[in-house]
A and B are shown apart, each in its own frame.
Chain A
Amino acid sequence: MDRSQDWNWNSGKRIIAEFGKWEEAFDWVEEPYVSPDGDKIAAVVKTGEMEFSVCVNGSAWENTFDKVWYVRFAPDGRLTAIVSDTGAWTLAIDGNAWEETFDYIWDTRFTPDGQTIVCNAQQGMQYLLVKNGAPWGEATFANIGHTAVSPDGSRLAAVVQTEDFNEGDIFKFQEGCYTVAINGHAWERNFVNAWETSFSANNQHVATEVRLSLYDYTIAVDGKIWSATYPSVWKPVFNPRDTTVTAPVKSAGAWILACDGRPLWTNKYAQLWHHMYSPDGDKIAAIAAPKFGRWTMAVDDQPWSVTFGDFVSEAVFSPDGQRLACIGVDHKKHRIVVDGKPWSGDYDLAWQPVFSPDGQHVAARVEKDGLFSVVVDDQPLKESYRRCWDPVFSPDNQHLLVRALEGQGADTVYTRTVLPLSEILG
């Protein structure tokens, strides 16, 4: 759910916090995180001897903890951090810890609306998922991983170990000791391995990559496997329009895209992964290596002509599905690529490009020679920053929100700037 219409979109710069001064107030200040709307900046700080908290816009949470880490803003703006007190771990939201504690928790995840917060947890050497502070059910497992949360947050999936075996018992392992559990209920069938897992758009179905023996890989959907097996597979994804499943699979030494166990794409790739549907489900794009050592995007089995030697990452469709952007890296130089055309600027680092709601503009955070900036439609902002975060377009496509740290040392300030696009591109 996009809340950006409620944010302040009046042009101008505001200093939100004198971040540089925090170092004077606290003995220890970690790297900062900022809220989606840019109104808050937060960092782990040390408030006393072995006493930690999170400082938000200059004042620390009242509650302090033995340890605080993994500070993350939820999409709805709530601030979370993993905290511990006398060895008991839990999640604190805006300073208030969940009542339930665990022997360990980690890997905080959010649904897009921010309403559901999920962590992996360990309690008495048994593993489970925790949703909004409560265990996902009675069941606990010997190990857990590859957590997935359904889009509405109603269902949680994870790969779990369902059979015990001793270290070194290779034959027991090969019989299959892992499967997927949904809301704590494990599938009946075990696998040698199960890895990355996806939910369908309607939250009802789960697909995962599995290994049936040491040699045969396939996709399991709701616990049932495809009829074909492959020498290897990557993460399956549901078509948002229906419940068909696609996955990159290896076949005769090359990668192709398969759908429900049958080849979908005909081109063969040296590598093919991170495939994704356009929001309407019309198109499929994937990061692909059409030949060894050259990387690009393939859209509906058509690779772009431009290729990169290091890697391609961070692909994203425009909201209307008509455009596609990614990062391409060659000889360590990062470039933003939109619809197969690389921008002219190259950078030491570039983050995932951001489309305007109407899909007409693309912006991205970049870093060069230790300075950060934002590029919009291949046009860098005049200013550069000590650090900045991903830019956000206003719902009316007219403005851009820039969240940045400016200044040096103790004079470092955190600013929230709304820039009219006309000014940037003008």
Chain B
Amino acid sequence: MNDATAVETKQIYDKGIEEGAARLTPEKIKQVYQQMMSAEAGARLKTYVQNCVSCGLCSEACHFYLSYDRDPRFSPAGKVRQTMAELMKKKGAVSVEFMKKTSEIASTECNLCKRCAQYCPFGLDVAFVMLFVRRLCHKLGISPQYIQDTAHSHSVTGNQMWVKEDEWVDSLQWQEEEAQEEIENLRIPVEKEGAEIFYSVIGPEPKFRAQLIYQAAVIFNAAGLNWTMPATPGWDNSDMAMYTGDNEIMARIKRMHFETAMRLKVKRVVMGECGHAFRSIYDVGNRALGWRMPPVEVSHSIEFFYELLRDDKIKIAEKYKPTVTIHDPCNVVRGRGLHDMLRYVVHAICENVVEMHPNREHNYCCSAGGGVINCGPPWKMKRVNGNKVKAQQLFAAKSRGAETCVAPCHNCHGGLEDIIHHNEIGMDLKFLGDIIYEVMEKPERV
């Protein structure tokens, strides 16, 4: 047993799971389980769990399985077997201890990346099952602490980071002022009704990565676009409630987001470089509200940058020199097929690109997605060690000259940063916006 497995098998203390479980009884578990089965479990859940022929064809799809020395407990079907299948077999008559482990597996050992659905011959959706289990854990009050806190923040502020309404606008105005030192008269238009584009971001941007808003503003201004950002809750497109299984809060915050777009009378929402938020507004959250597709067109930054470069809206002064490699974020690649546009953009702004394999929609997840990184520090090493295959990919890219990894997703950034650091890979990590900002022709004033 190597040290990675040792870390994993060590008991990890999570206040949310432990203290939540301390209030549980087997009777309560059974009651909530049965209530949820009768109210929400349908043909998909039943088929996904019961029709698994245990063939193991999904195992190698999962980076956790590959990284933890092919420990079968980390195979996608194995996670179902240890959790939902057992629950169904026992009709919910399981112990509190069992539910603790179940919460841990569903929340910290699966990134809901759906790669396994591309490898299971039947297309059984393990991510769907894990999400169902997370919702059960939500109803039992045993979700991991950090992500639960984030869901609480969503419920109060509409954003992920407890950013208060004044702090939000204040940080926009601050970024505007900063950017004006570089580009005279640059503007971040707030609450501009009838603008073409509503630029939406995730909670951590005003809080920790404000330079991204700055860079976006420079790009928007250079391209001469008619854009705006709201002054109200609804500016945040992120969604951890989606990942704790709190579908009601998910619906509530997605409603805020879409109704903000409608109120501002924009033609479309362009969102920053975030994957899970894209999944929430493009695929999951809209459905929870009754919208078959997003009511207002939504575009991920990749698509947006692709259009800007294709249409010559922004010009590249000099391409980025260091060799780069591309990390495909699951939610916009497997989730929206943006891999070709991503390559178009990267090749348009960088001199040298080397690919990692497997890539495009067959990429390996960063192991941070699906809310796993949001489960916080207790689970960090488990997640980092659970993605040695990504470290190997990065090393391989580095051996072919890659100095920078491009990852157009916040969670991927967080995850890859930890992987690069822990494995001492020595590689820079950049958003597309970082590079575009660096290499574009910038006006001196607008």
Contact = CB atoms under 8 A, between A and B. Distances in A.
Interface of A: 27-28, 30-31, 46, 67, 69-70, 103-104, 106-107, 120, 122, 127, 143-145, 161, 167-171, 173-174, 178, 192-193, 195, 211, 214-215, 217, 231-232, 250, 252-253, 270-271, 273, 289, 292-293, 295, 309-311, 313, 329, 332, 348-349, 351, 367, 387
Contacts, number: 107
B190 A193 contact: no
Interface of B: 15-16, 19, 39, 138-139, 141, 145-146, 148-149, 152, 155-157, 162, 164-166, 169-170, 173, 185, 187, 189-194, 231-233, 246, 248, 251-252, 255, 258, 262, 265, 267, 289-292, 295-297
A253 B149 contact: no
Contacts of A195: 252
B166 A270 contact: no
Contacts of B252: 195, 232
A24 B72 CA distance: 71
A178 B153 CA distance: 13
Contacts of A122: 164, 166
Given A106-B165, A214-B141, A292 B290 contact: yes
Contacts of A348: 267
A46 B295 CA distance: 37
A106 B230 CA distance: 12
A270 B288 CA distance: 9
B148 A170 contact: yes
B156 A215 contact: no
A138 to B, nearest CB: 20
Given A70-B231, A168-B149, A332-B297, A120 B165 contact: yes
A368 to B, nearest CB: 12
Contacts of B15: 170
B265 A173 contact: no
Contacts of A70: 190-191, 231
Contact of A232 (B157, B251, B265): B251
Contact of B139 (A106, A215, A289, A310): A215
Nearest to B195: A31
B166 A46 contact: no
Contacts of B190: 69-70
A158 to B, nearest CB: 11
18 contacts: A28-B187, A30-B192, A143-B164, A144-B165, A161-B156, A168-B145, A170-B149, A170-B152, A171-B19, A192-B155, A195-B252, A211-B155, A214-B141, A273-B255, A292-B290, A293-B291, A310-B295, A329-B295
B195 to A, nearest CB: 8
A214 B166 contact: no
A167 B162 contact: yes
Contacts of B39: 252-253
Contacts of A387: 194
Contact of B146 (A168, A310, A311): A168
Contacts of B297: 332
Contacts of B145: 168, 170
Contacts of B193: 31
A311 B262 contact: yes
Contact of B138 (A31, A143, A214): A214
Contacts of A289: 290
A120 B16 CA distance: 34
B156 A143 contact: yes
Given A104-B169, A170-B149, 18 more contacts: A30-B189, A69-B173, A107-B231, A120-B165, A122-B166, A145-B165, A145-B233, A167-B162, A170-B148, A170-B152, A192-B155, A193-B156, A270-B290, A271-B290, A273-B255, A292-B292, A310-B295, A310-B296
A167 B16 CA distance: 13
